[in-house]
Chain A
Amino acid sequence: MRTSWVAIVVVAGTVAACGERVQTAGDYRGKADAKPYEANFGGDKAKWEAALRARSQNQNEYSRVQ
C-alpha cells in the first residue's frame, strides 16, 4: 500500500512539469492611439472608409480600364 502511494507521488511529481500553460497576451501597457479618421477626416469614419475604398479600386486594373 505504502509503495503504491510513493509511486503515485513520484509519478505525479514527475509529470507535473510536463503541462503547458495557456499563453495569452496581457493587457496593453503603452500609450493610447487615436482613431485613424480623427486627424484628417474630422472623426467622420464613413468618409474615411469611402476614401480608402476608392483608393483600393486603383489596385484593380479590370475596373480601371473599363
Chain B
Amino acid sequence: MARMKFLCDAERCIECNGCVTACKNEHETPWGISRRRVVTLGDGKPGETSISVACMHCSDAPCMAVCPTDCFYRTDEGLVLHDKDQCIGCGYCFYACPFGAPQFPQAGNFGLRGKMDKCTFCAGGPEKDNSEEEFKKYGRNRLAEGKLPLCAEMCATKALLAGDADVIAEIFRERALRRGKGGQLWGWQHAYGKDGAPAPAREGGKT
C-alpha cells in the first residue's frame, strides 16, 4: 500500500455538506468543532466551485514542524496524527496549516483553548484501537475495522475520494478521461508536493 490520501473532485461536489454531517456524527465532535467543511469559491456566480476540505495529511506537514511539544507523528500509511495528551493547545499548528484543519474546542471561560482536534482519516489516535478512550479523544477508528473515512464513503456524488493514493488517483483519472475535463486536483500539490512522494514515518511512534 502506498499511502492514504483525500481527493476532492471539484466538478462533482454539490455543496450538500453530507461529508461534514457524516464526520460530525461519526466522531460525535463537540459544538463548534468541525473537522471537515465545504468551501465554495465564487458563490452564486457562474462557474462556482465547491471543495470539501479537512486535514490533507501532508507529506511535509507544517503542523508537525511547528509543534513545540512534538505531539505529531506520521503512520506507515502516511497519516498525520497527534497525541492529545501531549498537546498544550498553543495553536501554532492552526497558524501553520494551509488548510485550516486544526480545531480548538473551548475549554473554559475567556476563550481558553482546549486540546487540538482534527481529522484523523478515521484512524483514531495513540490509544488502544476501537477502545472507549480512543473514541472519546479522537473519534471512531474505522481504518482499524478495514473501512475508509465516512465522509468519503457517504459522499453522494463520490466527489470526495479517500484511500490508497494509487487506487483513488486511478478512479479519478478514469473519471476525468471519460468526461474530458476537470482533471485538476485541488490542494494535492500543496499537500503532497510535486511528486507526491511519501515522507518517512516519524521515529518514536510505533507506526
Interfacial residues, chain A to chain B (CB-CB below 8 A): 23-41, 48-49, 51-53, 55-62
CB pair B163 A55 closer than 8 Å: yes
Given A38, A39, A48, A59, which contacts B163 in the complex, CB threshold below 8 Å? Answer: A59
CB pair B164 A52 closer than 8 Å: yes
Interface residues on B, range: 35 or more
A60 to B178, CA, bound (A): 13
Given A27, A32, A58, which contacts B153 in the complex, CB threshold below 8 Å? Answer: A58
Would you give the shortest CB distance from A20 to chain B, in whole angstroms?
Answer: 13
- Which residues in A have their C-beta under 8 angstroms from that of B75? 33, 36
Given A27, A32, A55, A60, which contacts B174 in the complex, CB threshold below 8 Å? Answer: A60
* Chain A residue with Cβ nearest B148: A55
CB pair B83 A30 closer than 8 Å: yes
CB pair A62 B72 closer than 8 Å: no
Would you give the shortest CB distance from B58 to chain A, in whole angstroms?
Answer: 12
Would you give the shortest CB distance from B90 to chain A, in whole angstroms?
Answer: 14
Would you give the shortest CB distance from B80 to chain A, in whole angstroms?
Answer: 11
Q: Which of B159-204 contact A (CB under 8 A)?
A: 161-164, 167-168, 171, 174-175, 178, 202-204
A59 to B162, CA, bound (A): 9
- Segment among B38-46, B100-108, B123-131 that sits at the interface with chain A: B123-131
Is B25 in contact with chain A by the CB < 8 A criterion? Answer: no
Is B146 in contact with chain A by the CB < 8 A criterion? Answer: yes
Report if A34-B163 is in contact (Cβ < 8 Å); known contacts: A25-B202, A52-B148: no
